[in-house]
Amino acid sequence: MNNGHSDRVIDIRHLSKTYASGSEQIKVLKDINLEVNRGEMLAIMGPSGSGKSTMLFILGIFQPPTSGSYTIAGVDVLNLNRDAQAVFRREKMGFVFQSCDLLENSTVYENLELPLIYTGVKRHEREHKIMEALQRVNLEHRVRQPSNRLSGGERQRVSIARALVNEPEFILADEPTGQLDKDNSERVMDYFVKITEEARVAMVIVTHDAATAERCTRKCLLSDGVLKPY
Amino acid sequence: MANKTLQSLRAEGFLPKDRGTRLLRFSDLLRISFREVVRKRRRYIGVMAAIALGTAGLITIVTMGRDLKANLNNDLDLLGGATIIAAHFDLQMGDRQEWFRTGTIDAIEKIPGVKEVTKSRFRSAATTTFQEKVYGFNLLGVDTNYWSLFSFTPRYGRLFNDADISEGRKVCVLGQDLAKMIFGSPEGAVGQMLNLDNNLYTVVGIIGGVRAADKTLMAFLPITTAQARVPNISELSSLYVRCNTWDDVAPVAAALEKTITTYQPSKGLRIQVGWEPLKQVQRVFWWVSLFIYASIGATLVLGGFGIWNIMMAAVTARTREIGLKKAMGAEDSDILWQFLFEALCVTFSSALLGVALGMVGVQYMCRSLGTQPPEGLFAICLLAGLIFAAVLGVGSGLYPSIRASRMQVVDAMRYE
């Protein structure tokens, strides 16, 4: 049994997703096969309606595929019950979303503390972990700032730090540079490259931005539900 | 098929061992919920005020209910004597007239629910002569309880006091019409001397009060004086008992007969209770109580619905936040507890405010009614408030919390 010590983090085999729309069956993802290793940064590109969001939700274990298998660090995640999926997400995965979803009316510290609370990290250990994650994105000086007083780039960096705070094995990013200007986009991608190399995490970035994809170690194109190397 | 559990993942080494920090998570969720309510306090102000006022009203009414009844009892009693029980020994043909013994009266005073007892001696067809005219009237020897028990007040002058009774003073109180008949005017009677069986009594007052209308042609002496100086005065064959509230009337009436029978012969005993006025008073109070409790209940239910409504709106407005938290690894129970704690924070804060207001209300009512606050008032109020807050918080927050916790991550993440 693979207990997570090999380099393979994500392993997807013959994965398909079909939605029912009335009597019609819409096949959104068709026979997807994908592997992502530690230290690897994969960009999944594709135009709107190509199935990128569905792919992202399945990768995040937010919804199950219609068929196929999906393992993360050797665990068949489709075979987990609801609570086990939640625990698996917080122990093994980090998420960065396009809209820099930070909790409103909360400080940077409080945003980063939440995953640690769910994981059950003791209070005195939290500050160290939070500061370490913020140092990786050079935002340690903003730790007590309310999240709504941050710039777009800073918000995205906080979002990255929050994804890192639980030291995940796999980070999933959805259009992480979608709302940023060129300079901030490049800076965010610099952090991603650095984190992937230093922390040896597997990263999947879903994007339609070619410049963002260019910075990744591998690129795939999702078109009409079919995933191909790009 | 999703069948692999968390325990099996931990056992197989795919996840670290459980950190055993469920309690810590619980306290953190409570802290987060409290922070959330404090930061969004403006949206809760209306329902908090409603719940606080409802709780304060409930505490005041529940705590002061008995004192309020006792006070209303005094006021309403003037109209019908609903809480007065009369006990008489009727004269039995061929038998000696029975009378109330001192031991019996002492025992009656100790019956639970008895507020006061008064006894009287009676003489009919007493006469007096004033300025060569003879006047006839009924005479009653009474103690000081007689005045308070029947709510009599002095119209002019004063009524008997303890010294008049204990020293057997030669003083008397007259009914208004009798005083007018003998001395020309009631106010002019005060200070005059009344000749009764060759004893001169100083008129100290004229009886007044709502119930004085049927005593206008009577004269009153201290019971000790009447016993010592008035020939042919009756034995203590009548006594009157006033109960604390109308709820005490039935049990006291039952206990009264039993007590008298236990302590002395009870031949010819007759217990009189004004059941009809009692029922009417109870009916009026029942309707008033129903109205008050219904008003408080409506306020609280509206408060509860307010919280329910706000929580439902919050769940909808925070759908994306719920999705985000679930994506970060929050279990369904984490979301449920957070929303439930938020509802409980609102109800507990409101209840504590209500307890404070309620205590002020109780103090104010105590001052108005001239009573003392019940012992352990703070503990009673706090306990009532907290129990109430817990019930209301769970009642109004549970459904929105369950709804939030059951939300699918994918639906929540797609929510705009």
ipTM for the whole complex: 0.88
Distance CA A53, CA A62 (A): 11
* CA-based nearest distance B403→chain A, Å: 16
User: Does the pTM exceed 0.95?
Assistant: no
Residue B14 falls within a domain, yes or no? no
Sole residue written with tokens 């995040």 = A60
B335's enclosing H/E stretch is helix B332-369
End-to-end CA distance of chain B: 31
Are B88 and B221 part of one and the same domain?
A: yes
Same domain? B97 vs B55: no
Helix then strand then coil, in percent of chain B rounded to 5, is: 60, 20, 20
Note the pLDDT tens digit of each residue in B164-218: 999 999 999 999 999 999 999 999 999 999 988 888 999 999 999 877 888 899 9
Domain end marker among B231, B254, B273: B273
CB hemisphere CA count around A210 (13 angstroms): 1
Same domain, B263 and B362: no
Residue B345, domain member (yes or no): yes
- Tens of pLDDT along A110-151? 999 999 998 888 888 999 999 989 988 888 899 999 988 998
| Whether A31 contacts chain B with CB within 8 A | no
Residues B328 and B246 in one domain: no
Is A114 in contact with B40 (Cβ distance < 8 A)?
A: no
Provide the 10 A C-beta neighbour count for residue B180.
Answer: 17
Shared domain for B28 and B64, answered yes or no, is: yes
B151: phi > 0 → left, psi -120 to 50 → alpha, else beta; which? left
CA distance B20 to A189: 37
Q: Is residue B359 part of a domain?
A: yes
Q: Same structural domain for residues B207 and B341? A: no
The overall longest dimension of chain A from CA atoms, in Å, is 56
Residue range A19-41: mean pLDDT, rounded: 90
What's the CA gap between A167 and A9, in Å, rounded?
A: 14
**Max CA pair span of chain B:** 121
Mean pLDDT check: name the lowest of A10-14, A112-116, B70-74, B292-296: B70-74
Q: Does B4 touch chain A (CB under 8 A)?
A: yes
Per the DSSP assignment, residues forming a β-bridge with A44 are A206, A220
Residues B310 and B351 placed together within one structural domain of the fold: yes
Rounded Cα–Cα distance for residues B262 and B259 (Å): 5
B297 shares a domain with B374? yes
Q: Which amino acid is at B398?
A: L
Q: Any chain B CB within 8 A of the CB of A119? A: yes
Domain count, chain B: 2
B299 and B268 in a common domain: no
Q: How confident is the model at residue B74 (pLDDT cuts 50, 70, 90)?
A: low
Higher-confidence residue of A57 and B414: namely A57
Range of the domain at B333: 22-71+282-414
* pLDDT mean over B257-269: 90
User: Measured between alpha carbons, how far is A98 from A46 in angstroms, rounded to an integer?
Assistant: 15
Q: What are phi and psi of B384, to 5 degrees?
A: -60, -45
Contact A118, A126 (CB under 8 A): no
Alpha carbon dihedral A157, A158, A164, A165, in 10-degree steps, equals: 160
Q: What's the CATH number for A8-99+169-229? A: 3.40.50.300
Q: In which band, very low, low, confident or very high, does the pLDDT at B399 lie, cut at 50, 70 and 90?
A: very high
Strongest mean pLDDT among A99-103, B121-125, B161-165: B161-165
State the pLDDT at residue B109.
93
- Please tell me the predicted confidence (pLDDT) of residue A172: 93
Mean pLDDT value across residues B289-302: 82
Phi first, then psi, for residue B163 (nearest 5°) are -65, -40
Q: Is the dihedral of CA B248, B250, B252, B253 positive or negative?
A: positive
B329 to A62: CB separation less than 8 angstroms, yes or no: no
Write the CB contacts of B8 (distance below 8 Å, at least 6 apart in sequence): none
Q: Which residues of A touch B334 (CB under 8 A)?
A: 118
Q: Which chain A residues contact residue B318 at CB under 8 A?
A: none
- Residue B78 located in a structural domain: no
Of residues B184, B190, B168, the one with CA closest to residue B135:
B184
Say yes or no: B332 contacts chain A, CB-CB below 8 A.
yes
Write out the two tokens for A77: 């995640």
* B281: enclosing H helix or E strand: helix B275-317
Residue B7 belongs to some domain of the structure: no
Q: Are residues B234 and B377 in the same domain?
A: no
Least confident of A118-122, B69-73, B145-149: B69-73
Mean pLDDT of chain A: 88
pLDDT per residue as tens digits for the range B317-330: 889 889 989 998 89
Provide, as residue numbers in chain B, all residues whose Cβ is less than 8 Å from the Cβ of A83: 5-6, 331-332
Task: Say if the Cβ atoms of A84 and B4 lie within 8 Å.
Answer: yes
The domain ranges of chain A are: 8-99+169-229
Q: Is B292 in the same domain as B330?
A: yes
